A and B are shown apart, each in its own frame.
Chain A
Amino acid sequence: MAMSLIWTVMVGAAVLCGLATGNGPEVAKGALDGAAAGVELCLSMLGVLCLWTGVMEVMERSGLAGGLSRLLRPAIAWLYPDFAGDRRVMDAVSANLSANLLGLGNAATPLGLEAARLMAERTPGVASDGLCMLVVCNTASLQLIPTTVASLRAAAGCASPFDILPAVWLASAVSVAVGVTASKLMARLWR
Chain B
Amino acid sequence: MDLIFTMLVPFLMLGVALWGLWKRVDLWGALTGGAEKGLKVALRIMPPLIGLLTAVYMLRASGALELLGEALGPALAAVGIPAETIGLLLVRPVSGSAALGVGAELIETYGPDSLVGRTAAVMLGSTETTFYTVAVYFGAAKVGKTRYAVPAALCADIAGFLAASWAVRTLF
Residues of chain A whose beta carbon lies under 8 Å from any beta carbon of chain B: 2-3, 6-7, 10-11, 13-18, 21, 23, 26-27, 29-31, 33-35, 37-39, 41-42, 45-46, 49-64, 106, 109, 112-113, 116-117, 119-120, 124-127, 131-132, 134-136, 138-141, 143, 145-146, 148-149, 152-153, 155-158, 160-168, 170-172, 174-179, 182-183, 186-187, 189-190
Q: Please indicate the chain A residues that have their CB under 8 angstroms from the CB of B127 in the complex.
A: 140-141, 175
Please give the number of chain B residues whose Cβ is less than 8 angstroms from any Cβ of chain A in the complex. 107
Q: How far is the CA of A164 from the CA of B124 in the complex (A)?
A: 11
Check B42 against A126 for contact (C-beta < 8 Å). Answer: no
Check A120 against B62 for contact (C-beta < 8 Å). Answer: no
Check B42 against A10 for contact (C-beta < 8 Å). Answer: no
Q: How far is the CA of A41 from the CA of B5 in the complex (A)?
A: 25
Check A152 against B153 for contact (C-beta < 8 Å). Answer: no
Partner of A38, one of B52, B141, B155, B158: B52
Check B59 against A175 for contact (C-beta < 8 Å). Answer: no
Mostly, the B contact residues are helix
Give the residue name and chain of the A residue nearest to B153 (CB).
A139
Flag B51-93 by CB within 8 Å of A: 1 or 0 each: 1111111111111100100000000000000000000000100
Check B112 against A136 for contact (C-beta < 8 Å). Answer: no
Q: Please indicate the chain A residues that have their CB under 8 angstroms from the CB of B42 in the complex.
A: 42, 45-46, 49-50
Question: Can you sample 7 A-B contacts with CB below 8 Å?
Answer: A10-B58, A13-B64, A21-B62, A50-B34, A54-B33, A61-B26, A167-B122
A-B contact count (CB 8 A): 355
- Which residues, 113 to 154 on B, are CB-close (under 8 Å) to A? 113, 117-118, 121-131, 133-134, 136-138, 140-149, 151-153
Q: Please indicate the chain B residues that have their CB under 8 angstroms from the CB of A52 in the complex.
A: 38
Give the residue name and chain of the B residue nearest to A123 (CB).
B143
Check B156 against A49 for contact (C-beta < 8 Å). Answer: no
Q: Please indicate the chain A residues that have their CB under 8 angstroms from the CB of B111 in the complex.
A: 156
Known: A17-B64, A164-B125, A175-B163. 11 other contacts (CB 8 A): A6-B94, A14-B59, A14-B64, A27-B62, A30-B59, A30-B62, A50-B39, A125-B145, A131-B141, A152-B100, A182-B155
Residues of chain B whose beta carbon lies under 8 Å from any beta carbon of chain A: 2, 5-6, 8-9, 12-13, 16-17, 19-20, 23, 25-27, 30-39, 41-42, 45-46, 48-64, 67, 91, 94-95, 97-98, 100-101, 103-105, 107-108, 111-113, 117-118, 121-131, 133-134, 136-138, 140-149, 151-153, 155-160, 162-164, 166-168, 171-172
Give the residue name and chain of the A residue nearest to B129 (CB).
A139
